[in-house]
Amino acid sequence: MKKIFLLLALASGPGPVAAEQKASGTAGRSACQSVMLTNYCQRLTHNLRRAVAGKGEAMREIGEFYQKGEGLPRNAARAKEWYEKAVAAGDKSSYLRLGRIHEYGGPGLASDYASAKSWYEKAIAAGDSEGYWSMGWLYQEGGPGLEKNYASAQEWYEKAVAAGADYAYPYIARLYEEGGPGVEKNYARAKEWYEKALAAGDLDGNAAIARLYEEGGPGLEKDWTQACSFYKKDGWGPDAQRVCPKN
């Protein structure tokens, strides 16, 4: 009941933005006082009123204001609260945002990869395929509550690819290029995945393949002629000038 009255006060009181400042303990310090950010304040006021009507997307936008520090001071803890309200109101997009806020943390909220994983799994269950890539990244990096595991990262990245996320190709390649828990370094396999990235339109793959040939590694011999060829495809920059023969 208190929450309902708070929302009503936010929406119908003399200053909904000021009321939200007071609720968050940031009264008098809001970026909304800046004339340059008047548009953010208008949007915040509008969304606070829509939140009273139970609009989950409005609650999500308020969370984004806090997460990004737009219109209100950056506050990860308050962002989390609003994303949770959005989820309770049926906004499936907020699962992914809850994963992000727990992954990176911020003012008032410590980074927690275990919690992030839980929310990403819920995002996937709700049909958000971006959660596959997000799970891969968690395992590739490792962090509070979740150990780094390249094998698990690869598994999730491949699920992302299967779901149509071509941008996951170079991430799989990088796992093989670096090697790590559960995945042995293998330049030949890394090259294969960078080639798939190229075929999907990621032109950064040229420089990546050139780097593999320049260094040489497991499964791929050093070959500066090939390295030169791929660096040229990436443009005649410092890398090409360093590797290619001087005529």
* Confidence band for 22, pLDDT divided at 50, 70 and 90: low
Q: Is the pLDDT of residue 4 over 80?
A: no
Span 133-146, pLDDT tens digits = 999 999 999 999 99
Q: In this structure, what token pair is assigned to residue 121?
A: 């799994």
Average pLDDT over residues 190-196: 98
pLDDT of residue 52: 86
Cα–Cα dist 113/63, whole Å = 20
Question: Which of 201-225 are b and which e, b meaning 16 or more Cβ less than 10 Å from the residue's Cβ?
Answer: ebeebbbbbbbbbbeebebbeeebe
Span 146-190, pLDDT tens digits = 999 999 999 999 999 999 999 999 999 999 999 999 999 999 999
CB atoms within 10 A of CB 95: 24
Q: What is the DSSP string of 29-66?
A: --GGGSGGGHHHHHHHHHHHHHHHTT-HHHHHHHHHHH
Span 200-244, pLDDT tens digits = 999 999 999 999 999 999 999 999 999 999 999 988 789 889 999
Question: Which of 123-139 are b and which e, b meaning 16 or more Cβ less than 10 Å from the residue's Cβ?
Answer: bbeeebebbbbbbbbbb
Three-state DSSP class for residue 73: coil
Residue 97: exposed, middle, or buried by beta-carbon count in 10 A (0-12, 13-18, 19+)? buried
Span 96-117, pLDDT tens digits = 999 999 999 999 999 999 999 9
